[in-house]
Amino acid sequence: MSSDIEAITPVEATEAVVVVDERSRSLSTASEASEDTAPLLPEVNFGPSTTGMGSPRSNRENQPLLGGANRCEVEEINIWHDDPHFTDLVRQAEIAIENGIYPERIYQGSSGSYFVKNSNGKVIAVYKPKDEEPYGRLNPKWTKWIHKVCCPCCFGRSCLVPNQGYMSEAGASLVDHKLHLNVVPKTRVVKLASETFNYTRIDREKSRAKKLVSERFPKFGRHFHRIGLPPKVGSFQLFVEGYKDADYWLRRFEAEPLGETTSRQFQLNFERIVILDYIIRNTDRGNDNWLIKYDKPTLDDNGDGEDWSLVKPPEVKVAAIDNGLAFPYKHPDSWRAYPYHWAWLPWAKLPFSTDTRDLVLPLLSDMNFVQELCDDMYNLFKTDRGFDRHLFERQMSVMRGQILNLTQALRDGKSPVQLVQMPAVIVERSKGRVGTTARFRSFSDTFTQSFQEKSPFFSWC
């Protein structure tokens, strides 16, 4: 045997075979257990290299030996060339995880969500994995499981596409960006892996076995597709600082009314929340899942000990978080109506302001803009592994109906309360042929409008 080949003793070879055989049996068991345990990345062989962005992933994964589409797919994960700031924040999160600063589970709520930190331990985002959503198979919280077992008739929301909350979060951010509302913290679909995420025992044992073999027998380890835990796909929403639950500040504003200027500022922001929720038909908007930041006026001593002068006026901002239960494929028509809780607030009784109408009405009145919004939503939603084109078109039919109602309400000078009292509308794309040849069938601009006839059993919850 030549000197440049590493010698392996019979004992070591036997141990390696035993471990690899055990790994094979584990993989077989995992495959038979559920198709959902399939890895989120393509299974390809890797050789030593680094990623194009200098990501910390270069320390735990290698570049695929296979070329073409597979290589591009792996290298493009968590990279947005049109948004370097967001890409950098995700990279900071990856570096922190690599250095042992893991995402911290948020114990409030009914799903697995996590505070993501950078290397300094500062919270930079909230991450919600797809398979840990309220009705996901790996949700670490038992409330929804109990709900499913004890009250199956009211289990879930029948109007929503199951297990698509992370897409709904990113979709709400997209609508916010297109309409220049600036109330949703930027949210994108990201893939991350962390020890603190909820994995099956099989996934953890597979990762542990691969790591053991890779450390003891590097020759065998080089052929593994992935050493660590499989990355999860989920929504990555930037963290906003200084905000509190709206319910807290709403009670304060009731006891201590805002000044005229600040009250107008809050009214404008409130109307943007209304527009967002109505367009996406948010089925889970209470006063505990949107945020308010109130910066009180700053005073400065002029030095004589008597006069004080305002150096900064009070400022109020809002943030619409928890948008994971939106974009239904039909209006609620079963047990619950899922009303907007902001409709009972005094600010909802005031007509939409001129500023708000001037901001969104020109856009929503343009059918080309509405179609462009639907196209952007399609490009986002189609990346989901369970994407259904038919259900997506029904989701867009509901959204078009909401936009139609909102446009009419803004033109008529109605208030948010009057808006939610308008009949539910669905605007569906025509299924007939358009044009004289088959090549124009998919370019139909003909829509039909219909009203929902069935109402939910309970209208107040």
Query: pLDDT for 165-188, tens place per residue?
Result: 999 999 999 999 999 999 999 999
What pLDDT, on a 0 to 100 scale, did the predictor assign at position 156? 63
What pLDDT, on a 0 to 100 scale, did the predictor assign at position 220? 65
Q: Tokens standing for 157?
A: 């929301």
- Cβ neighbours of 397 (radius 10 Å): 22
Q: How far apart are CA 39 and CA 35, in angstroms?
A: 10
Between 451 and 78, the more confident residue is 78
Residue with tokens 């979709």: 171
Between 442 and 235, the more confident residue is 235
- Which residues does 114 contact at the CB level (< 8 Å), separation at least 6? 103, 104, 105, 106, 126, 127, 128, 129, 194, 196, 197
pLDDT at 3 over 60: no
Q: How far apart are CA 233 and CA 191, in angstroms?
A: 4
By percentage, how much of the chain surpasses pLDDT 70?
A: 71
Between 35 and 455, the more confident residue is 455
- Cβ neighbours of 11 (radius 10 Å): 8
What pLDDT, on a 0 to 100 scale, did the predictor assign at position 227? 73
Please report which confidence band the pLDDT of residue 221 belongs to, taking 50, 70 and 90 as the band edges. Answer: low
Which of helix, strand or coil describes residue 138?
Answer: coil
What would the pLDDT profile of 130-161 be if each residue is shown by its tens digit? 999 887 888 887 776 676 666 655 556 789 99
Please report which confidence band the pLDDT of residue 52 belongs to, taking 50, 70 and 90 as the band edges. Answer: very low
Which of helix, strand or coil describes residue 177?
Answer: helix
Please report which confidence band the pLDDT of residue 243 belongs to, taking 50, 70 and 90 as the band edges. Answer: very high
**172, 285 in Cβ contact below 8 A?**
no
- Which residues does 354 contact at the CB level (< 8 Å), separation at least 6? none
Any bridge partners for residue 127, and if so which? 114, 236
What pLDDT, on a 0 to 100 scale, did the predictor assign at position 209? 82
Between 41 and 266, the more confident residue is 266
What pLDDT, on a 0 to 100 scale, did the predictor assign at position 48? 38
pTM listed for this prediction: 0.77
**58, 50 in Cβ contact below 8 A?**
yes
Lowest mean pLDDT segment, chosen from 87-96, 200-209, 435-444? 435-444
Between 415 and 152, the more confident residue is 415
What pLDDT, on a 0 to 100 scale, did the predictor assign at position 318? 97
pLDDT at 30 over 50: no
What would the pLDDT profile of 245-300 be if each residue is shown by its tens digit? 999 999 999 999 998 999 999 999 999 999 999 999 999 999 989 999 999 877 65
What would the pLDDT profile of 368-403 be if each residue is shown by its tens digit? 999 999 999 999 999 999 999 999 999 999 999 999
Which of helix, strand or coil describes residue 447?
Answer: strand
What pLDDT, on a 0 to 100 scale, did the predictor assign at position 414? 97
245, with CB counted inside 10 A (0-12, 13-18, 19+), is: middle
Nearest to 60 by CA among 214, 204, 213: 214
Average of per-residue pLDDT values in the chain: 80
Between 107 and 40, the more confident residue is 107
What pLDDT, on a 0 to 100 scale, did the predictor assign at position 154? 58
What pLDDT, on a 0 to 100 scale, did the predictor assign at position 222? 66
By percentage, how much of the chain surpasses pLDDT 90?
A: 54
**315, 239 in Cβ contact below 8 A?**
no
Instruction: Quote the distance between the C-alpha of residue 416 and its chain's center.
Output: 26
What pLDDT, on a 0 to 100 scale, did the predictor assign at position 150? 64
pLDDT at 63 over 50: no
Nearest to 337 by CA among 168, 166, 158: 158
Q: How far apart are CA 424 and CA 452, in angstroms?
A: 6
pLDDT at 430 over 90: no
Lowest mean pLDDT segment, chosen from 25-29, 107-111, 242-246, 445-449? 25-29
